[in-house]
Amino acid sequence: MPYSYLQLVERIDVVPYRHELDVFSAFRSRVYRLIAHDGKQPLGYLLPCIVTELAQHPDIVVVDDFARTVQLHPGLKTEKERNEALSDLASQWREENVFETLKGWRNELYTIYDNTKKPYMRLERALCPLLGIVMYGCHINGYVKDEETDEIKLWIPRRSATKPTYPGMLDNMVAGGLGYPHGCFDTCVKECYEEAGLEPEYVKKHLKSVGMISYLYQKSMDFDSEDGLIQPEVEYTYDLKLDKTVIPHPVDNEAEDFQLMSIAEVDKRLRNGEFKPNCAGVIIDFFIRHSIVTPESEPDFLTIVGKLHRLLPFPLR
């Protein structure tokens, strides 16, 4: 049974909305909220198995099992103190093999923001999913347009079979995490070169920022294992219209190959579930902006657009 577009979106926007009262309550009773050291600002959702480990460190967190909150210790008043405390903890967990997720250690820092958009802390990228805090990426739709017929085709890579996450699945032309201290546009230009061999000067000239998608992801509804981690995510979206003579090709072995696919082919593979889930969301957003999916063609048009742009209940950059 092929996926509908709404089902594809609901594969990434998994966590219930607060106005779905009963189902949200059920979700809320299974998780903890991570709260800033001020005791006020929510930063993310935590699984009980993470809280159990955090609770061993009363110098870093204050756990309230009744309110189901985990507050960063009020003494962690500066960014530096928070960075050090959590970095030491992550290193210890990694050494002791406490969490599978930390095997993806990158030596790459992610910035977490406070509600005034100031950096609140900077953490190793592999730690962030464990804390259920917002993570940011950039995704680029690479396409070719026939100016005579207006027909659009998309450049679609297949992820390398050796990638630790979603091996062998279809992807957006180029995508990358937004690691400190890089900005969105610069990250795109860098990744276009590294992942697809596209010349920076060419990309800078043609790359268009077109918005973002955001959602509250949970890979599996298993609240007792790392597969059930709650992941609030933002993907900045870009369109890059390529001349017919510009051919993306694998450079850093992130991709097996690139294929130029018709809309009908991309549609078929989307509905088959062949795309990495968040890349499917980016393509559906592309289809909506380019009049390929319309209110007349798609019965769940409004719900899809709403769910693809969820206002996350945590501070954003």
Which stretches of the chain bind a second copy, using CB under 8 A? 17-19, 42, 117, 183-185, 208-212, 214, 234, 236, 288-291, 294-296, 299, 301-303, 305-313, 316-317
In the complex, the smallest distance separating the C-beta of residue 180 from a second copy, rounded to whole angstroms, is 15
User: Which is closer to a second copy, CB of 117 or CB of 244?
Assistant: 117
Say which residues have a Cβ less than 8 Å from residue 239's Cβ, sequence separation at least 6: 140, 141, 143, 207, 208, 210, 286
DSSP-derived secondary structure letter, 2: P
In angstroms, what is the minimal distance from the CB of 87 to a second copy? 26
Residue 100 C-beta: closest distance to a second copy, Å? 30
Compute CA distances 269 → 14, 171, 199, 262, 274, whole Å. Answer: 21, 11, 29, 11, 5
Residue 169 identity (one-letter amino acid):
M
Contact (Cβ atoms closer than 8 angstroms) between residue 157 and residue 163: no
Nearer CB in complex with a second copy: 5/93: 5
By C-beta, is 16 or 250 nearer to a second copy?
16
Residue 300 CB, shortest distance to a second copy, in Å, is 8
Per DSSP, the residues of 60-93 read TEEEETTTTEEEEPTT--SHHHHHHHHHHHHHHH
Two tokens, residue 316: 């954003």
Q: Which is nearer to a second copy, 40 or 164 (CB)?
A: 40
Q: How far is the CB of 77 from a second copy (least distance, A)?
A: 24
Choice between 120 and 258, CB closer to a second copy: 120
